[in-house]
Amino acid sequence: MWLEADCNLSSGESFVRQFLYGKQFFKNEFGVDSKVMWLPDVFGYSAALPQIMKLCGVDYFMTTKMSWNQYNRIPCDTFLWRGIDGSEVFAHMITTTGKEAPLDTYMTTYNGSLKPSDVMGAWERYQQKEINNDVLISYGYGDGGGGPTREMIEMGRRLSHGIKGAPKVRFADSRTYFDELYERTKGNKSLPRWVGELYFEYHRGTLTSMGRNKRSNRKSELMLQDLEFVSILAENLPYPKNELDSMWETVLLNQFHDILPGTSIKEVYDVTKVEYEELSKQATALLSERLLAAACVTGDMAVVNTLGYERDDIVFIIPDDITANALEGGESISPCQKTHDGGNIAYVSGVPAMGALGLKFVDKEFDNPISIDGLNIDTPFYTAQFDEKGFISRLLHKETGREVLVGDIKGNELRVYEDRPMRWDNWDIDVFHTEKSWLVDDTSEVKWLEFGPVRATLLVERKFLQSVIRQKIHFYADIPRIDFETYVDWKQSQLLLKARFQTDIKSPAATYDIQFGNVERPTHVNTSWDEARFETCAHKWADLSEGGYGVSILNDCKYGHAIHDGVIALTLIKSGIEPYPQTDQEEHFFTYSLLPHTGDWQTGGTVRSAHNLNTPAYAVPIASPADAKTDSFSYISTNSRNVMIETVKKAESGEGVIVRVYEFENTRTKTTMTLLNKAAKIYEVDCLENRLNQVAENTNEFTSEIKPFEIKTFELLF
């Protein structure tokens, strides 16, 4: 990889780039194709990784960190690791025990020694002696960068000659060890298999600590993907390959497993703040220039959609671009509404997949489908009641007739928990954090801020000690999301802020968005393994559904979730004190959304709603309307609801265009993709863009079978 990246928070496309840039570096600098994913110290490993590793030419996986588990011991050290799509990689966990550690310990280290007692400890600790008698020892002072000492090397030399009662030591590189171990154990019926994520039963606070950095990472990942695609559309401008490489390297660097998780010192976050701001400024300038060139449609303005499906969504428009109270595009006319801050918002339907729609300004009067009465609101989707504190006391989902909120917890309850872990403050949330908490009910203002045919917005401002929490709660006329646009000026330490919603949904498992797919986790604590998962990772969404009905929670930059016994909780701020005493004591900006739905999350449209929240469509003035020959276009689309077009970029070779897709409903699918322009040749490639086979030629349409949760990448030559 580019470096030892966090494997919970980094996006799927970031994983691909970690391998792409990392393997390119090894090949360019050393002439070596690295086959070992060496991640000793990362805080858990996504179930998406085995497939990504295989598609990036990585055969072996190594860690030590899983031995730190708080409650449960992973029952194997050498095993096959199977991901969500069925891909398997060969894995080994180092069994080196800590210096002077008792032989019965199961916690291991990458900071090993080569003293006879430690070498013996590594052998005694190993669990698969019936199939293998070689163990791997990582020795030296790793955390401090000191490396091996002369004393350690001399110990190893002496042990290499064989000492009675001690394992014989041999110096070799990790690739040699893994090649030999694989040949020795492959096909052995006793070789264990671990299926799914490697959840780390510690350091759960890393899903939330240093929220500003996590937000900047999410926004940067998505902005660079947008820039890559729009740069393909803007054919008359040079593709910014060098700039993109530099910006991606900054993003990948800051995904280091102590930077992105929020467990570094203050000086690190002073630097990343500047780096992310500079990246945003540079990417925004490049993107704005290319959006103007790409918006080659007829009309007064264009909406550019960088997502891989036709979307009906809310669009934000700068004030100067509006000369009427409605927009006409395609076969619909939609109202425009002035926002409280002087901007404009409109609902636009039928924006083509990875393409653009031209809109004209028109004047038309609309009936308002939203009505408000005091603190109550009625929309086409919901009837909602707020109490005087600004909490939702009732929320009726009209389509199903279900009361969304059931129980003692009011909707959008903001609750602060005492967060004093036993150690590793910014790393950990301990299971007892729920035992002491306070409701954030010091409400200073509740009032309707906006009311129009597009949306109604309730402003709720609260105080907690010296902190201020200000939320704009948006209800829409045409989309079923309820958005909680949030600003927090946080002044506290060792206090954890969560938003909670209580439902009466009966389901033994909830579903969580991860890289290139999703996983289910239990909502109960039947076993110690269940109990350990009291805080878990999701990316853009999580969902709790029963037959015929469910509720999803979406977010634009948060990762820590807890769904148990019908209660859906999203962790918003952590504010630990070590190693950075003022962690999270600053301004925060984030949005999370509630999405009740009919059916399960698949039929409820959760995935697309979450992507819409995270990747808004762009409203673009049309620079040269006379040059446009069409009122809309789609660069590429798929006919399958469950196939996401994730990435469109220039090939690393500079010759063609790379398109990466994945299946996200665990459904085997034959999907057909349609291109705007005819491709001379279409190849399937791996994630490093090596050609695997030719798919089609001289066509603007091709079909491919995609397996459940499979990632597929294509190279298009025009």
pLDDT per residue as tens digits for the range 486-505: 999 999 999 999 999 999 99
Does one domain contain both 469 and 590?
yes
Model pLDDT, residue 105: 72
Model pLDDT, residue 330: 79
What CATH number is given to the structural domain containing 68? Answer: 3.20.110.10
Amino acid in position 441? D
Does one domain contain both 266 and 178?
no
Tell me what the mean pLDDT of segment 365-371 comes to: 94
Q: Report if residue 619 sits inside a domain.
A: no
Does one domain contain both 53 and 156?
yes
Domain count for the chain: 4
Model pLDDT, residue 99: 62
- Structural contact between residues 498 and 563, judged by C-beta atoms closer than 8 angstroms: no
Model pLDDT, residue 234: 95
Does one domain contain both 185 and 221?
no
Does one domain contain both 604 and 527?
yes
Q: Where are the alpha helices (DSSP H) in 9-115?
A: 12-30, 49-55
Q: Tell me how far apart the terminal alpha carbons of the chain are, to the nearest angstrom.
A: 31
Q: Where are the alpha helices (DSSP H) in 561-650?
A: 606-614
Q: Report if residue 16 sits inside a domain.
A: yes
- Structural contact between residues 325 and 348, judged by C-beta atoms closer than 8 angstroms: no
The tokens 């090949």 sit on which residue? 27
What CATH number is given to the structural domain containing 485? Answer: 2.70.98.30
Model pLDDT, residue 626: 59
Boundary of a domain, candidates 311, 345, 379: 345
Boundary of a domain, candidates 202, 228, 254: 202
Dmax (CA) of the chain: 93
Cα dihedral 395, 401, 403, 404 sign: negative
- The closest of 669, 678, 679 to 715, measured between CA atoms, is 679
Q: Report if residue 408 sits inside a domain.
A: no
C-alpha 300/C-alpha 361 separation (Å) is 7
Q: Report if residue 541 sits inside a domain.
A: yes
36-38 and 60-63 strand pairing: parallel
Residue 111 belongs to domain spanning: 12-202
Does one domain contain both 132 and 170?
yes
Does one domain contain both 218 and 245?
yes
Q: What is the DSSP string of 104-126?
A: T---B-SSB--SHHHHHHHHHH-
Does one domain contain both 214 and 166?
no
- Structural contact between residues 336 and 360, judged by C-beta atoms closer than 8 angstroms: no
pLDDT per residue as tens digits for the range 564-578: 999 999 999 999 999
Lowest mean pLDDT among 132-136, 163-167, 470-474: 163-167
Residue 120 has a CB neighbour count (10 Å cut-off) of 15
- The closest of 41, 33, 56 to 7, measured between CA atoms, is 41
Does one domain contain both 118 and 16?
yes
- The closest of 362, 278, 360, 348 to 316, measured between CA atoms, is 348
pLDDT at 543 over 90: yes
Mean pLDDT computed over every residue of the chain: 95
Q: Report if residue 682 sits inside a domain.
A: yes
Q: Report if residue 403 sits inside a domain.
A: no
Question: Where does the pLDDT of residue 142 fall: very low under 50, low under 70, confident under 90, or very high at 90 and above?
Answer: confident
Share of the chain above pLDDT 90, in %: 91
Q: Report if residue 351 sits inside a domain.
A: no
C-alpha 240/C-alpha 243 separation (Å) is 5
pLDDT at 157 over 90: yes
pTM: 0.97
In a 3-state reduction of DSSP, which class is residue 426? coil
Q: Report if residue 500 sits inside a domain.
A: yes
Amino acid in position 7? C
C-alpha 360/C-alpha 89 separation (Å) is 54
Does one domain contain both 591 and 643?
no
Does one domain contain both 534 and 466?
yes
Model pLDDT, residue 324: 82
- Structural contact between residues 246 and 46, judged by C-beta atoms closer than 8 angstroms: no
pLDDT per residue as tens digits for the range 297-355: 999 999 999 999 999 999 999 776 677 889 998 778 989 999 998 899 999 999 999 99
Strand positions, DSSP E, 491-586: 495-502, 509-514, 517-522, 536-537, 541-546, 549-555, 560-564, 567-573
Amino acid in position 293? A
Which residues are designated catalytic? 41
Does one domain contain both 215 and 117?
no
pLDDT per residue as tens digits for the range 236-278: 999 999 999 999 999 999 999 999 999 999 999 999 999 999 9
Cα dihedral 702, 703, 709, 713 sign: negative
